[in-house]
Amino acid sequence: MRVAVVPGSFDPVTLGHLDIVGRAARLVDRLHVLVTHNPAKAGLLPFEQRVDLVRRAIDRADIAGDVVVDALTEGLLVDYCTRVGAQALVKGIRTPSDTEYETSMAIVNRDLAGIETVFLIADPATAHVSSSLVRQVASLGGDIRPYVPAVVADALQPDGPRRG
**131 catalytic, yes or no?**
yes
Q: Tell me how crowded residue 40 is: count the other CB atoms within 10 A of its CB.
A: 5
- The pLDDT score that the predictor gives to residue 160 is 55
Q: Is the peptide bond before 12 cis (omega within 30 degrees of 0)?
A: yes
**32 catalytic, yes or no?**
no
Residue 122 CB burial class (10 angstroms; 0-12, 13-18, ≥19): buried
Domains, the chain, in order of start with CATH, read 3-156 (3.40.50.620)
- The pLDDT score that the predictor gives to residue 163 is 45
**41 catalytic, yes or no?**
yes
- The pLDDT score that the predictor gives to residue 62 is 87
**94 catalytic, yes or no?**
yes
Catalytic pick among 17, 32, 55, 56? 17
pLDDT in 10s for each residue of the chain, 164 residues: 999 999 999 999 999 999 999 999 999 999 999 999 877 777 889 999 999 999 999 999 989 999 999 999 999 999 999 999 999 999 999 999 999 999 999 999 999 999 999 999 999 999 999 999 999 999 899 999 999 999 999 998 766 544 44
- Neighbouring residues of 54: CB distance < 8 A, sequence distance ≥ 6: 10, 13, 17, 33, 35, 69
pTM score, whole prediction: 0.93
- The pLDDT score that the predictor gives to residue 54 is 98
Strands 66-72 and 88-93: unpaired
- The pLDDT score that the predictor gives to residue 42 is 73
User: What residue type is 69 in one-letter code?
Assistant: V
3-class secondary structure for the chain? CCEEEEEECCCCCCHHHHHHHHHHHCCCCEEEEEEECCCCCCCCCCHHHHHHHHHHHHHHHCCCCEEEEEEECCCCHHHHHHHHCCCEEEEEECCHHHHHHHHHHHHHHHHHHCCEEEEEECCCCCCCCCHHHHHHHHHCCCCCCCCCCHHHHHHHCCCCCCCC
- The pLDDT score that the predictor gives to residue 162 is 47
Catalytic pick among 41, 60, 83, 162? 41
Catalytic pick among 50, 55, 94, 130? 94
Catalytic pick among 50, 55, 56, 131? 131
